[in-house]
Amino acid sequence: MTGLNLVITIIQDRLHMPLVSVIIPAYNAEDYISQCLSSVLSQTLSDIEVIVVDDGSTDRTASIVEELTHRDGRIRLIRQENQCAGVARNKGMEVAEGKYLYFLDADDWIELDSLEKLCSSAESLGSDIVVARSEGFDNQTGETWLIDYALNGVPFDTLIRPSFYADRLFQRFMGWPWDKLYRAEFIQSSGLLFQPLRTTNDAYFVFCSLMLAGGVSCVDKVFFHHRANNRKSLEGTRSKSWHCAIEAMWAIAKKIAEQPESTRLMESYNNWVLNYSYWSLNTLPADIADLYLEELAPALSAMPNGIESYVSRHEWTLRTLASLNQSKLLVKATDLSGDKENLSHEIANLQAEIVRLNGELNSLREELANRDSKIKEVYSSHSYKLGHALLTPLSAVKHRGE
């Protein structure tokens, strides 16, 4: 190869844009990063680049990735001081060259045809975002399950507009990026970035992208496997950064206020805030949960009063109770306790009534059985048989006379 040809080849290589940029933030993921990268590098779609942003790991994560870069030129390793996954994802987007962006967590993995099928949907339908189904995996027990609380009530294999799902955006989609493929040009024009938060850094990016997208397509197939119950993940240490979720909520609400569909979006958003908060109050330590509720309470009490604004009584009840001060909440809880006691009495009375009615029913059944027995005795008695024998000829004579 001549010097000129070599230069031309290098320029062509540099001008080539991969179809998909896979961006993986990684922090102390030495136990899982190999499986994650194997699932990406083995994709049926080979025209990809893989950008691993090591977020200041203190284990062997970076060295494992660096070793793999020597085996596969599609991998790039970027190192940064620990600044959390949101900043790492933004760093990956800065250098990404693909037509599409896909964000994968370092402890998750994907099916081998995932990127091919996602790109196919985006290319054929012109989607800004493609969403597919995912499966949970318990890191301790090995149990798997379909994550069926995503992609609710959406049509598949067709382009849908945000106006279709605005009133239920937060109920139809989840606020994580790893079940979605993004058109890079759309993300760049939107100016969206991940928030620099320790946890819940992806909710703003994901939900706002769904508000702004020109069109979204959904694929009814499991492509992604999300590792849960991982003691090393930040999910298990939310009590250290509980306020991050609230910061994300405020930022999303601000973005909603700028949208033409703000009224419909806000109704969906309110239900999501209530549902997420219920989960947080149940899973956070009691003292942290109190702080969470104290900070969020003014926003909850400002939500609509009418039950028609909520997807279920569950969200409406939480909104109603959250608007009460502590003394009124205590009275309400006491009333509910009294209602429960009264209900217990009513249940006991109904159970006694059921027993009484069953007793009457059994008595009627016994009486009916006795009557059946007596009738059978009459039919089988000698006098009945004799009378029947004497009357039969007379009946025959009568019929002949007619």
Q: What is the pLDDT averaged over residues 223-240?
A: 77
Distance CA 255, CA 51 (A): 29
Q: CB-based contacts of 221: which residues, under 8 Å, 6+ apart?
A: 117, 132, 133
Task: Give the residue with greater pLDDT, 68 vs 318.
Answer: 68
Summarised one tens digit per residue, pLDDT across range 308-321 is 999 998 898 888 88
pLDDT at residue 351 tops 90: no
Given a contact cutoff of 8 angstroms between Cβ atoms, the answer to whether 218 and 154 are in contact is: yes
Tell me how far CA of residue 334 lies from CA of 9, 92, 305, 329, in angstroms.
Answer: 78, 54, 22, 8
- Residue 357 is predicted with a pLDDT of 83
Summarised one tens digit per residue, pLDDT across range 200-228 is 999 999 999 999 999 999 999 999 999 98
Summarised one tens digit per residue, pLDDT across range 282-309 is 889 989 988 998 899 889 889 999 999 9
Summarised one tens digit per residue, pLDDT across range 165-184 is 999 999 999 999 999 999 99
Q: What is the pLDDT averaged over residues 250-270?
A: 97
Residues 142, 143, 148, 149: what is their CA dihedral angle, to the nearest 10 degrees? -80
Q: What are phi and psi of 395, to 5 degrees?
A: -65, -35
What's the chain's average pLDDT? 88
28: left (phi over 0), alpha (psi -120 to 50) or beta: left
**Measuring CA to CA, which residue among 244, 224, 225 is closest to residue 234?**
244
Residue 261: strand pairing partners: none
Handedness of CA 335, 337, 341, 344 (dihedral sign): positive
Instruction: Give the strand pairing for 20-26 and 75-80.
Output: unpaired
Q: What is the pLDDT averaged over residues 221-238?
A: 79
